[in-house]
Structure 1
Amino acid sequence: MEQYDLLYRLYEDSEAETLRELQNFVDLFPPVDSRIALDYWQDASDELEARKDEIRSSFAAGKTYAEIAARATRDQTFTALDLHSKYGRAVNALVLDVDETLRSAGRTDNEIPRDTLHLLTEFHEAGVPIVICTGQTLENVKGFTIQGLGNELVHSGTVSIVYEAGTGVFTPGHGSTTKQLLYEELDEAVREVFSEVRSRVLPQAPDDLRESVHLQGNEFNITLKPNFDIGSDPAAEVIDRGLVYLVDLLGGAVAAAVEGVDVDDGEEWSRAYYAAADPEVADVLAAEGAAPESEADDVPDEVSALFDRIDVAYYHADAAEIGSLELNKPNGVRAALDVLDVTDPFVLVMGDSKSDLRVMEWADEADAGIAAAPEHASEDVLAHVRDTDELVYDRGDAASMLRIAYVLNLLDER
């Protein structure tokens, strides 16, 4: 209660909003070649320090409280206090999805905002490792990460990139473990299935479907995306049809990879297995007139064992995909944390999709962290986040969650 009262007094007695505005200006002031502008920046910096000095002299933990007031709103600070009361730990690594998490096509013009990037550098300077966890290729994510955070930070040895949803992990500055190709651990049967599906997915698609979708992903993550605005009715229609097509294609490939079974039964087995595994998939299959006539228990054990290793994911009006369950974000994150020598993780996981949900669930089940998501995340993700710590933030405003985590760490230092 003493901590609560002190923080309450901090926001009652100090002009915290002005303090934050000054801090943001000093932190984010663009590089300019103007004496007048630089003088203005210096005046703001001097005023910021003067206001912080007042807080430093008013509280026993004044240095910490001055930083808290300059970095976070009252609500953000008390959220951080609640988290610290619940877990009693600081965040010792960030695990961050990129698209629609750190940046948003609908709110930030698909750029990571400057305040978010600056907060990431603040965590870096505080010694908190950063794991970028994305479905994108390594080349893409390295490019915008270096552009946003700088080459020196990315190659500092405390930044890791889990790319292509767990296919590989790239951690610069770690010698032989700098690049880990996790797909090399897959056996031949799984490789054959994905090779077969990828080779057939577009060439053998019905003409109307092939003209309405495009292919994303990698060798072990095959994703159909709509050639329409995500969330629109045409996108919903084509992704529903695409899901049925992928499920059937996968069934044929799995049956062909298992000796002694009838390949013609593969589609029915696949529909039965994945309908039983995911109610959303079952609903789409039923709506498309493709509901299975058999039960998951009717699938031969050898076929079911291979299905057990392959995921089918559905995102309404957004994507239909299959991926290897052995090449996933949780396994990639664990590999990254191992290289970064985070032996007792308590991470902040931020993401919006079902692949991010698996990382969140791992962190929850292992008592290894907390989860946050933007308000437009998938329903499953939002349900998990609301059931744990209710850390939901506005679209494009990842900085608000990073500020909460930053204050959590400041409180833990006291």
Structure 2
Amino acid sequence: MERYDLLYRLYEDHEADSLKAYQDLVDLFPPVDSRVALEHWERASDELDRRKSEIRAGFPDGAYAEVAAHATREQAFTALDLHSKHGRGVNVFVLDVDETLRSAGDTDNEIPRETLSLLTEFHEDGVPIVICTGQTLENVKGFMIQGLGSEIVHSGELSIVYEAGTGVFTPGHGADTKHLLYEDLDEGIVSVFDDVRSRVLREAPEELRRGCHLQGNEFNVTMKPNFEIGSEEAIEIIDDALVYELGLLGEAVAEVADADVDPDAAGGFARAFYADSDPEIRDVLEERGSPPEVDPEEVPEALADYFDRIDVAYYEGDAAEIGSLELNKVVGVEAALDVLAVEDPFALVMGDSKSDLRVMEWVAEEGSGIGAAPEHASEDVLEHVRGADELVFGPGRSADMLRTVYALNRLVSLD
């Protein structure tokens, strides 16, 4: 109980809120060419040092001063609870981007400066970062360089798992820099994706060609709306895109599997299979007038064997996607950790979707990490996170979790 008592005293006897405000000002002060501004920053820095010195004089280790300067009382006690439960600090981050590090509704779709500043501090402490996203590599590289800077991105301590696990990019590692994980799939699966990708826009009805575009993925086939995401027009066009993609997928699988199935029937088998596995897909098919017309038990085994390895994902008003179930964020993260040489990981996994949940479940099963999610995450994700360590944060507040981990790691350093 000694550390709990020390934390109580730390936050009772010292103005931690104002101390943290000084730390934030020093860390986040924008670079401006102004003597007045520089003098203001220097006064804040001096006051921060003075207040930290007062804490250091009254506590057995300087780590307490850093905890108070970076974490709120609630975050510090959450960190101590995590320490008591897991007995370890976080030694690698696995971070989703959209609606996790950044939230379109609250941060203008940019990663907040507070979050970037904290990630920079963790990087300086030697904690590797794995950015784990469904986005394309070029998109991720662009905004990570803009946010964290080229030096960190190319430091050899940052890895990008892109397109939800189809590839891993880790600058600074020579021949191991880029891993195209989809190249390890068998020829039949690759042929299915090549076939669907080559036909998806070329053979689409005119309304779909005008209303959708193909996201620039290396492997996954992702149709995106040419309308504002989530709008009525986007919902309608993505619903139609899902129906269309399932038809193409059925035909491509029938061709590769060399199944004696009529092309029109092949699409019906695909709709039946995926409607049976995902109620949301079933609802869309019924609403768009293309309900499954066969029982899922009637799907030929040759087709079902392929469908079992292929994921069809539907995101209302956002995307209709075909991906490989053998390529996911877990596979990508494993590859990234291998390149980064993180041999005994204890990760903070932050995310909001089912693909992130797989990583959270994996680290939980392995005893190699903890999961955190925004309060608007999918219900499955929130159920897992609340049942584990209750690490839920508000929209655009990814920094809250990083502050908690900062406090955790400082407390663990006292062991």
The reply on whether 1:375 has 2:375 as its aligned counterpart is yes
CA distance, structure 1, for counterparts of residue 247 and residue 275 of structure 2: 12
Unaligned runs of 5+ in 1: none
CA 326–217 in structure 1, closer or farther in 2 if over 3 Å, else same: farther
Match of 1:161, SS state, is strand
1:143 shift after superposition: 2.2
1:267 shift after superposition: 1.4
CA contact (8 A) 1:352 1:373 kept: yes
The corresponding residue for 1:350 is: 350
1:117 shift after superposition: 0.8
The corresponding residue for 2:177 is: 178
Percent identity between the two aligned chains: 67
Task: Specify the code of the residue in structure 1 equivalent to 2:92.
Answer: A
Match of 2:50, SS state, is helix
Match of 2:312, SS state, is strand
Unaligned runs of 5+ in 2: none
1:95 shift after superposition: 0.8
Which whole-Å deviations, capped at 9, do the CAs of 1:291-349 have from their partners, x for residues lacking one? 32333332222211111211011122222211112222211110000111111211111
CA contact (8 A) 1:227 1:235 kept: yes
CA 392–231 in structure 1, closer or farther in 2 if over 3 Å, else same: farther
CA contact (8 A) 1:72 1:403 kept: yes
Match of 1:312, SS state, is strand
Which whole-Å deviations, capped at 9, do the CAs of 1:334-391 have from their partners, x for residues lacking one? 0000111111211111122332222222222222211122223333333332332222
Output the aligned Cα RMSD.
1.8
CA contact (8 A) 1:115 1:399 kept: yes
The corresponding residue for 1:226 is: 225
CA distance, structure 2, for counterparts of residue 289 and residue 387 of structure 1: 39
Which whole-Å deviations, capped at 9, do the CAs of 1:84-114 have from their partners, x for residues lacking one? 2221211111011222221222221222211
Scaled by the length of structure 2, the TM-score of the pair is 0.94
1:21 shift after superposition: 0.5
CA distance, structure 1, for counterparts of residue 378 and residue 215 of structure 2: 19
When structure 1 is superposed on structure 2, of 227-236 and 49-58 the one drifting more is 227-236
Task: Specify the code of the residue in structure 2 equivalent to 1:287.
Answer: E
Which whole-Å deviations, capped at 9, do the CAs of 1:55-112 have from their partners, x for residues lacking one? 1111223x11111110011111122222222212111110112222212222212222
The corresponding residue for 2:261 is: 262
Aligned pairs (5 A) from 1:275-294 = 275-294=275-294
The corresponding residue for 1:98 is: 97
CA distance, structure 2, for counterparts of residue 394 and residue 152 of structure 1: 30
Match of 1:345, SS state, is coil
1:178 shift after superposition: 1.6
When structure 1 is superposed on structure 2, of 17-26 and 211-220 the one drifting more is 211-220
The corresponding residue for 1:50 is: 50
Scaled by the length of structure 1, the TM-score of the pair is 0.94
Task: Specify the code of the residue in structure 2 equivalent to 1:99.
Answer: D
Aligned pairs (5 A) from 1:10-409 = 10-61=10-61, 63-264=62-263, 265-409=265-409
Task: Specify the code of the residue in structure 1 equivalent to 2:379.
Answer: E
CA distance, structure 2, for counterparts of residue 350 and residue 134 of structure 1: 11
Match of 1:8, SS state, is helix
CA distance, structure 1, for counterparts of residue 54 and residue 318 of structure 2: 51
Task: Specify the code of the residue in structure 2 equivalent to 1:80.
Answer: A
CA 152–237 in structure 1, closer or farther in 2 if over 3 Å, else same: same
